[in-house]
Amino acid sequence: MIDLHTHILPQVDDGPDDWEDALALLRQGIEDGITGAVSTSHILSDLNTDLEGRLIYRFEQLQKFVERDGLNISLWLASEIHCLARFDTHSRVATVNGDRKFLMIEFPMNEIPDNAGHTLFQLVIDGITPILAHPERNGTIQRNPDRIFSLVQRGVLMQINAGSLTGRFGRHVRDIALEMIEHRQAHFVASDGHSVRNRPMKMGDAYRVVTREFGPEQADRLFRRNPERVVRGESIEIPEPEPIRKRRPVKFSFFQKRMRH
């Protein structure tokens, strides 16, 4: 699996505290079956040259440690840019590998600012594909999941968090994530890993959920094929999304079934 969304650089955001933590997080990912990861530290206000330099320096340091310890994982550099932050798409850390093909963007937790749509569509016009990080966790989207449909129709790709699919953020978030996959409104699953304990770099359990619910082909597309195309800078096949018309029927879990017999 290739993990498109990780916070693996120490002391640049709310990710690892030090190199030891950063390497422990990578080891956790490797153990879980992750073979490659994109470093996407938060850019919350201003992507200036100072911050750009710091991210590149830390990323190169991390690669040296990975090599020193013989860790079997490929790394690429990008960022997770807040939709209200100031940034230049020519920055080497704004897009994946600095190649101006894919840019990861996030909304605030509870709203969609008025100019967010403008920012996203300006990227599309510039030939850069925006990847929206974990839309299923946004409060406004949770109340109106059809907002995702209109963004996908306009060329925004959607990245779901692995933890959303395993119920880490509650049943409602999990249901939205599953609905998105069912209606072809999801393009990637990623860990959004921050720390071994609280926000792990894990995708294996979510991979199994998607395989069980939608089959191995879909799991392969979301966890492997599509992310691989992003890191290679290749375009992605985007299936026509369907609007979410009705709520997904709640399935009885294994335990509920047992209790009824």
Does 175 bind Fe ion (CB under 5 A)? Our answer is: no
Of 137 and 183, which CB lies nearer to Fe ion in the complex structure?
137
Of 16 and 241, which CB lies nearer to Fe ion in the complex structure?
16
- As measured in angstroms, the least distance from the Cβ of 148 to Fe ion is 18
Distance, in Å, from the CA atom of 161 to the CA atom of 135, rounded to the nearest integer, reads: 9
- As measured in angstroms, the least distance from the Cβ of 41 to Fe ion is 8
- As measured in angstroms, the least distance from the Cβ of 247 to Fe ion is 27
Q: What share of the chain is helix, strand, coil (3-state, %, to 5)?
A: 45, 15, 40
Task: Report how many residues bind Fe ion under the rule CB under 5 A.
Answer: 2
The residue of the chain with the least Cβ separation from Fe ion equals 192
Which range binds Fe ion by CB under 5 A, 29-37, 57-65, 187-195, 233-241? 187-195
Which range binds Fe ion by CB under 5 A, 158-166, 192-200, 203-211, 221-229? 192-200
Bridge-based pairing of strands 188-190 and 36-43 is unpaired
Member of 3, 192, 195, 219 binding Fe ion (CB under 5 A)? 192
Of 3 and 192, which CB lies nearer to Fe ion in the complex structure?
192
Task: Name which of 11, 29, 60 is nearest 207 in CA terms.
Answer: 29
Of 80 and 175, which CB lies nearer to Fe ion in the complex structure?
80
Total Cβ atoms within 10 A of residue 253: 9
DSSP H helical ranges for the chain: 19-31, 49-68, 116-125, 139-143, 146-153, 162-165, 171-182, 204-214, 216-220, 226-232, 254-260
Site for Fe ion in 35-64 (CB under 5 A): none
Site for Fe ion in 83-102 (CB under 5 A): none
Does 80 bind Fe ion (CB under 5 A)? Our answer is: yes
For residue 250, what are its two tokens? Answer: 């709640």
Structural contact between residues 225 and 130, judged by C-beta atoms closer than 8 angstroms: no
Residues lying near Fe ion in the complex (CB under 5 A): 80, 192
